[in-house]
Structure 1
């Protein structure tokens, strides 16, 4: 009886420290409190429905006492913030940043009063929180053993997940209940150039879920700086996720020095799927841009010498040698293989095509020495990023592109040799400036060198940011492939205009992406920033380019058009070959017309894994573009035009799947028509299996 009485008193004392903060619209409620033994916990509700049940917070450390329990609340502070800011580029010209904040200061008396802070920001569409470690006598350097942040879910939700991996997100999304993750993990893990899975129930973020009572929930992180990327490990008996950080070569999860803070942990929630797509909370949790001058950062629409190599029609390599040492081979004395695509004459053809159709730039891959002997090798010296093959005339192509008003996009494949890239980085960026390049596509294919480091660890995350900030010194924009998935850092560093960090269009040539793939990515991968997905494939049978490749693109031609609206990016590629576009110039017109920067965006209807219909207003123009996509199932998109100005009539050009279109059987069937529309118009548009619709409105 006495034990029960004292337990009651302890719990009552803990309850005294319970703090609540609500969102500006009162729908989201965060509750913070300490457990009986001084463990920080939080709960989250949305419209009185549980989103996150009581979940523990804390950091387990190796070299100092853990920051898990024994805390008391020293102080709580509340604040309200409301601003509107203008992104350099984006899905809208202005973003509102409105939240209520709770800052809790916690001390551990047993550790000579060592203290930490946990900062919560509650938005109308969810929560962001982080740990902060102020400079203090009892805390200086420390090593993270594991972050112990929990997300205790209220049910066995439907989830759209990728296997937890330290090196790649290039997996197909698996859709299942949370309780089924363990059983489905084996088939969910497919081969990749570099991968390291960690748990039979581990998944990556952004993680999208839907509860049985109709809540859409998304877990991710924001402002990933000087820290390891967070994955989630599921206790599938209790439906509790716990954070799981990417380790380094020694198995440590992070190295911090006070003052410091973690990235924000984010939980987005709504009873409308479209609210998740329209959330800007992850961007709002990042700092404003670090650059005083952003005039050199411009959205880009481009074509490129790329898809023909991906399909196997052409090669990156100049010859077929298998034993190459950097700087020791005179390529002019070797025999070309006859399939090298990045040659001067061929690149000029792409430049001509880009200029003819109003594009901004041409990407060229395979221009530099070293491509013969790199893939799958653990070689520190592969590329120097400044030495072209004999058939690639840098100076002449600079002159020719400039005469046509076209930029060339540089390609830096690091082959995972990060130390080598950093050795060459200043010279490589200066080489770009000297030859008229203002954007680079970087790549990190293969295992990371130094050996034992992972793509998503603290060491590599610091490298990616170093590359972006160094590029900014040269006024160069960066499109990083195989790098960590974005966490809104493009707000702070807007020259980061693109990332891959997911299974892109290239996989259509490697066996295919599922037909529902692009109905999921906007709810997952795109939450933290745009993706260089490289849409626009019109010839969906890869064998048309390479008879030895029987893969096919798992969409209709028209769905490829719609992706320019539903898959937002300020960097959009028309990825197919010019000769193919010349056969379908009527459909290609939509790619020519569609904007890459926007004043406003609207979700008309959406359901993750099934369909998305979005409309966007072009930046500074009275032009709107609409995209509707579906999964493998045919459906009718219910399109309203309420986003148009009232009282005006517009001409809408509709690019639709043909009546017999099917992503497997007849992907190139399409029809184009024009109609008059107003803000009151309602349209029922049929979408073929794996299909879509694209509409331009002027």
Structure 2
């Protein structure tokens, strides 16, 4: 009886078992991949003409509608006539690492991926890698063949089809000029498919990252790029987006005003084989705050290429240019070294013109003697040639310099993307930190090269000198950029500019102070003068002394791009809540301080003083669960959790 029962059970189970194995095999061969939690999915499709497309869903809701894929090469066409040659098995990959500069220091994410090989009419192969994780999906192209010949891509069909009822925050990609493209324009609130508008300079497309509010404004998606190691130009989105179809576009041949780049008839991507191209990244968020905290871009970037990173230290720096742009005297550089020493900053930045002030190594030696690490400015063309770059890095390191701010790249051409990787590598050999200005956006590079501390590529506080619209727009922009630019990598916004400039500031002083803790940057370069620093209340001075330049843990409490942002930030035993208002109206908020202030007895709040533009009001209260507060128009606040009433 026992054997008969077992045999009958096996017979009953067999159809189910066969179905299970059939489904597993079908999933392996299917042209899609799902994240481990089954929520995010990217699906590839071929139509009757052999044209390739994809779509992206989350919880079966479409985030990216059917969108074209394909490459048109100089001698090969992968835009039509394609067929499936092979589908790899599903693989599971774990990305577990730590970042020197981060919202959240430790990352541990699991991905599922597969590779699908397509064959064109001539039998040539193109691989599309697809990957899905809990924060989104991505894909990239690969040519697997080997050979000595150079392959050129004349057109990339890749596009992102955003539903026309979606709204977005997008930055115009400026046409090549003396200081462009540099990703220093406003993020504009658009409807999907809108033409370019609101740009500071003539523009030829839209930048990535691009943020969209989809599915009847219920969800969010960020389009970005990762893993460009110099094998491809930096890409943006084409200006014609009719129907909400945003097509990938290459850097332009005239992006060469600041660098010794050759004139070319075209600047198509080109490489010998095999050829691995950058990831096209689609970050998915049920809430906007999910986008802000995503590490998908660094998850997809190569792991650190620096074995010993113990010498790499995030920190804060004083610098003189913002408050004294025309003063290049030794006295002014030394004055700001003293500011760094007084506030316990690790670094001081000697900006443009420092070489003349450094006669006999004077300003560098003075900084070093006071325990302050000098950073110096340089022009991009000095670092473009391989030999000159290596010699210059070696010379600077020998002088006691600890990092270099390299300015005026203003190009996304493939040669520049490759040079930037060499800059990080050559600097690392001399234990030098890198800060890029007048540059393209980062693409997860701070994981691969942890000595890459920060980059501009942001409309920062220098705009009070140059941009008449900046004072009115700055608060709103400050609530958009953490969801866009700062997701791509560390951002050198140069915060805390209280002195009035050509275009007077409208944000409150508390808002400006909060910006130092809203943006993530491996080195925070504080703007403004010694006089402003000296005039600050003791509590604000102490905040600047204690404030970290990177974080162990970050959570969002309020996350509304263009309106308001409130973050919980923690580093070691330090705990803060930081908020800013991007609107001209007072915003009421209610927070559970007990949740974020565990282990502390009180909280200190730094907010607007009687003179909101220049002053602070500072008070200490017991921690309560239900805390009501009204964020001032264009205002901000910082809460410090403390264990005394001081």
TM-score clears 0.5:
yes
Q: Which residue of 2 aligns with 1:569?
A: 521
Task: Indicate if the aligned counterparts of 2:167 and 2:217 stay in contact, CA closer than 8 A.
Answer: no
Superposed displacement of residue 419, structure 1: 7.2
Q: 1:603/1:207 Cα in 2 relative to 1: closer, same or farther (>3 Å)? A: same
Superposed displacement of residue 98, structure 1: 1.4
Q: Which residue of 2 aligns with 1:499?
A: 455
1:58 aligned to which of 65, 70, 95: 70
- Which stretch shows the higher mean deviation, 575-584 or 490-499? 575-584
Superposed displacement of residue 422, structure 1: 4.9
Task: Indicate if the aligned counterparts of 2:323 and 2:527 stay in contact, CA closer than 8 A.
Answer: no
Q: Which residue of 2 aligns with 1:552?
A: 504
**1:406 pairs with 2:362:** no
Superposed displacement of residue 427, structure 1: 3.0
Q: 1:288/1:588 Cα in 2 relative to 1: closer, same or farther (>3 Å)? A: same
CA distance in 2, matches of 1:74, 1:54: 22
Q: Which residue of 2 aligns with 1:350?
A: 336
1:364-375 alignment, distance < 5 Å: 364-368=350-354
**1:208 pairs with 2:177:** no
Superposed displacement of residue 560, structure 1: 1.4
CA distance in 2, matches of 1:642, 1:457: 51
Unaligned runs of 5+ in 2: 1-26, 176-180, 254-263
Q: Which residue of 1 aligns with 2:430?
A: 474
- Aligned to 2:463, the other structure's residue is in SS state helix
- Aligned to 1:627, the other structure's residue is in SS state strand
- Aligned to 2:559, the other structure's residue is in SS state strand
- Aligned to 1:171, the other structure's residue is in SS state coil
Q: 1:612/1:292 Cα in 2 relative to 1: closer, same or farther (>3 Å)? A: same
Q: Which residue of 1 aligns with 2:107?
A: 95
Q: Which residue of 2 aligns with 1:672?
A: 618
- Aligned to 2:446, the other structure's residue is in SS state coil
Q: 1:418/1:105 Cα in 2 relative to 1: closer, same or farther (>3 Å)? A: farther
1:424 aligned to which of 388, 406, 424: 388
Task: Indicate if the aligned counterparts of 2:212 and 2:220 stay in contact, CA closer than 8 A.
Answer: yes
Superposed displacement of residue 115, structure 1: 0.5
Q: Which residue of 2 aligns with 1:49?
A: 61
Give CA-to-partner distance per residue, 1:490-529, whole Å, 9 cap, x none: 1001111010012111102223351211101111111110
1:19 aligned to which of 24, 31, 35: 31
CA distance in 2, matches of 1:575, 1:345: 18
Q: Which residue of 1 aligns with 2:300?
A: 285
Give CA-to-partner distance per residue, 1:144-200, whole Å, 9 cap, x none: 112110211223311111113352211112112124x32x52xx2224xxxx632xx
Superposed displacement of residue 24, structure 1: 1.7
Q: 1:350/1:236 Cα in 2 relative to 1: closer, same or farther (>3 Å)? A: closer
CA distance in 1, matches of 2:496, 2:360: 28
Task: Indicate if the aligned counterparts of 1:53 and 1:153 stay in contact, CA closer than 8 A.
Answer: yes
Q: 1:84/1:418 Cα in 2 relative to 1: closer, same or farther (>3 Å)? A: same
Q: 1:443/1:237 Cα in 2 relative to 1: closer, same or farther (>3 Å)? A: closer
> Normalised by the size of structure 1, how large is the TM-score?
0.81
Task: Indicate if the aligned counterparts of 1:56 and 1:148 stay in contact, CA closer than 8 A.
Answer: yes
Q: 1:576/1:236 Cα in 2 relative to 1: closer, same or farther (>3 Å)? A: same
Q: Which residue of 2 aligns with 1:622?
A: 573
Superposed displacement of residue 553, structure 1: 2.4
CA distance in 1, matches of 2:504, 2:544: 21
- Aligned to 1:121, the other structure's residue is in SS state strand
CA distance in 1, matches of 2:360, 2:491: 28
Q: 1:46/1:524 Cα in 2 relative to 1: closer, same or farther (>3 Å)? A: same
Superposed displacement of residue 99, structure 1: 1.2
**1:270 pairs with 2:285:** yes
Task: Indicate if the aligned counterparts of 2:507 and 2:613 stay in contact, CA closer than 8 A.
Answer: yes
Number of aligned residue pairs: 593
Q: Which residue of 2 aligns with 1:329?
A: none
Superposed displacement of residue 644, structure 1: 3.4
**1:123 pairs with 2:138:** no
Q: Which residue of 2 aligns with 1:609?
A: 562
Q: Which residue of 2 aligns with 1:145?
A: 154
Q: 1:649/1:346 Cα in 2 relative to 1: closer, same or farther (>3 Å)? A: closer
Task: Indicate if the aligned counterparts of 1:561 and 1:590 stay in contact, CA closer than 8 A.
Answer: no
Give CA-to-partner distance per residue, 1:320-361, whole Å, 9 cap, x none: xxxxxxxxxxxxxxxxxxxxx232222222222211221111
CA distance in 2, matches of 1:117, 1:411: 42
1:244 aligned to which of 243, 246, 249: 249
Q: Which residue of 2 aligns with 1:374?
A: none
- Aligned to 1:238, the other structure's residue is in SS state helix
Give CA-to-partner distance per residue, 1:608-640, whole Å, 9 cap, x none: 11111011111xx21112210111332123333
CA distance in 2, matches of 1:309, 1:257: 49
Task: Indicate if the aligned counterparts of 1:657 and 1:686 stay in contact, CA closer than 8 A.
Answer: no
Q: Which residue of 1 aligns with 2:596?
A: 644
2:145 aligned to which of 121, 135, 156: 135
Superposed displacement of residue 265, structure 1: 0.2
Q: Which residue of 2 aligns with 1:693?
A: 637
Q: Which residue of 2 aligns with 1:683?
A: 627
CA distance in 2, matches of 1:83, 1:41: 28
CA distance in 1, matches of 2:218, 2:493: 30
CA distance in 2, matches of 1:56, 1:165: 25
Q: 1:258/1:643 Cα in 2 relative to 1: closer, same or farther (>3 Å)? A: farther
**1:231 pairs with 2:236:** yes
1:74 aligned to which of 71, 85, 88: 85
Q: 1:141/1:596 Cα in 2 relative to 1: closer, same or farther (>3 Å)? A: same
Q: 1:651/1:394 Cα in 2 relative to 1: closer, same or farther (>3 Å)? A: farther
CA distance in 2, matches of 1:528, 1:397: 34
Q: 1:650/1:168 Cα in 2 relative to 1: closer, same or farther (>3 Å)? A: same
Q: Which residue of 2 aligns with 1:384?
A: none
1:574-589 alignment, distance < 5 Å: 574-586=526-538, 587-589=540-542
- Aligned to 2:392, the other structure's residue is in SS state helix
1:393 aligned to which of 343, 352, 359: 359
Task: Indicate if the aligned counterparts of 1:464 and 1:483 stay in contact, CA closer than 8 A.
Answer: no
Q: Which residue of 2 aligns with 1:155?
A: 164
> Normalised by the size of structure 2, how large is the TM-score?
0.87
Q: Which residue of 2 aligns with 1:36?
A: 48
Unaligned runs of 5+ in 1: 1-14, 316-340, 369-387, 446-453, 543-548
Q: Which residue of 1 aligns with 2:398?
A: 434
- Aligned to 1:288, the other structure's residue is in SS state coil
- Aligned to 1:398, the other structure's residue is in SS state helix
Task: Indicate if the aligned counterparts of 2:402 and 2:431 stay in contact, CA closer than 8 A.
Answer: yes
Task: Indicate if the aligned counterparts of 1:289 and 1:493 stay in contact, CA closer than 8 A.
Answer: yes
Q: Which residue of 2 aligns with 1:600?
A: 553
Q: Which residue of 1 aligns with 2:13?
A: none
CA distance in 2, matches of 1:604, 1:591: 23
Q: Which residue of 1 aligns with 2:3?
A: none
